[in-house]
Structure 1
Amino acid sequence: MPQVALPHDAKAGPTKPEVRAVSLEKLDLRQSDHVVDVGSCTGSVTIEAARRVERVTAVERKPERLEVTEKNLAANEYDAAVTLQEAEAPEGLPADADALFVGGSRNFEAVLDHAVETDVDRIVMNVARLEVAGRAVEAFRERGILEEVVQLQVSHGYELVGATSFDSQNPVYVIVGRRDAEGLA
């Protein structure tokens, strides 16, 4: 499959390709899964998931961002049935999700409660701010779903005076949860 095309901007920035790759790998997606993308924004995670599973629900609270998700979906190829839901999570979250990606930090505790109550098997949350990451790790731990935390630092090469230098992006914390988690080793 070609890379995800994101011709429409949501002014919040998509989850970067390298972070998407790790996050989706940590979700351990199966073709029969129903994946929920909470805070879909540009739709980058929705699109990647829709290329791997049967069903995806994209939940976004801002109508203009949900419209961007819809436009970016139209610019890409995928086989899944995709549902777009304008809602403030946890409202609008389906009760039959197998895997949940949380791309924003708003109401994440209530989203995690919903995931636990509805027996979501796998959860990944991406966080860019250290203080929120700390609160999120504790929230996962308190609910007995914390499996691991991964910090990603992506740097892209560029030419500098005839040689290669690197431009680093902010680190991202990938917090991984499972219904049957045994906690951090």
Structure 2
Amino acid sequence: MKDNVFLRGQKVPMTKEPVRLLALERLELASAEHLIDIGAGTGSVALEAAMRYPALQVTAIERNPAALSLIGENRLRLGCENVTVIAGTAPLALALKADAIFIGGSGGQLAALIDWALERLHPGGRLVLTFILLNNFSEALACLQTRAVAAMTCEQLQFSTLTTLGSGHYFKPNNPTYLISCYKEGSDV
């Protein structure tokens, strides 16, 4: 889905289309029943996943009131009845188990969120995290190296968009994004 499909707010983050595409690929949702999106922002990951996989149940967790409003509006506009939005700060009490978890925002509690996510994933479940801050990437990598995860991959993504400048064009760069994906140990993956 193109980024312009989503209503946006000035201070509400959104996982951009090229990063979202790779994150959704790494989540391996074709056979999943439940996805949890932590730090959902505008809801772009949760909503695109819900639209691609209508049988998928999606839980989007967000703490920012402006973001919650945007997720709600985007959910209604796109007709994603399979998305449940939870207003709160993860880690939070949640009895649900998931086949895949996406962490797009950590709120400064990265290690606690990783542990929380791994507790909620079924064995063999997928965990995907994205960051724009190098220190958050480094913290997540160090944390995951001491947890029961398998097949961890890390990628730095840098995308640029062709933009007009006067009578010419240039590629306007977006922030580099770091993406980590892995499986929770406990089954053949």
Of the three residues 70, 74, 82, the one matched with 1:68 is 70
Counterparts in 2 of 1:87 and 1:166: CA distance versus 1, 3 Å: same
SS of 1:98's equivalent?
strand
2:146 is matched with 142
2:117 matched to 1:115? yes
2:29 is matched with 29
Amino acid at match of 1:67: S
2:173, 2:25 → 1: CA distance? 22
* Contiguous gaps of at least 5 residues in structure 1: none
Residue 11 of structure 1 deviates from its aligned partner by 1.5
Of the three residues 175, 181, 184, the one matched with 1:170 is 175
Conserved in 1, the CA contact under 8 Å of 2:35 and 2:98? yes
RMSD over aligned Cα atoms = 2.1
* Contiguous gaps of at least 5 residues in structure 2: none
1:152, 1:71 → 2: CA distance? 29
Conserved in 2, the CA contact under 8 Å of 1:8 and 1:72? no
TM-score, structure 2 as length reference: 0.85
* Structure (1/2) with the larger helix percentage: 2
Counterparts in 2 of 1:123 and 1:63: CA distance versus 1, 3 Å: same
Give the paired residue count: 179
TM-score, structure 1 as length reference: 0.87
* Structure (1/2) with the larger strand percentage: 2
Amino acid at match of 1:110: A
1:127, 1:104 → 2: CA distance? 8
Conserved in 2, the CA contact under 8 Å of 1:124 and 1:174? yes
Runs of 4+ in 1 over 4 A off after TM superposition: none
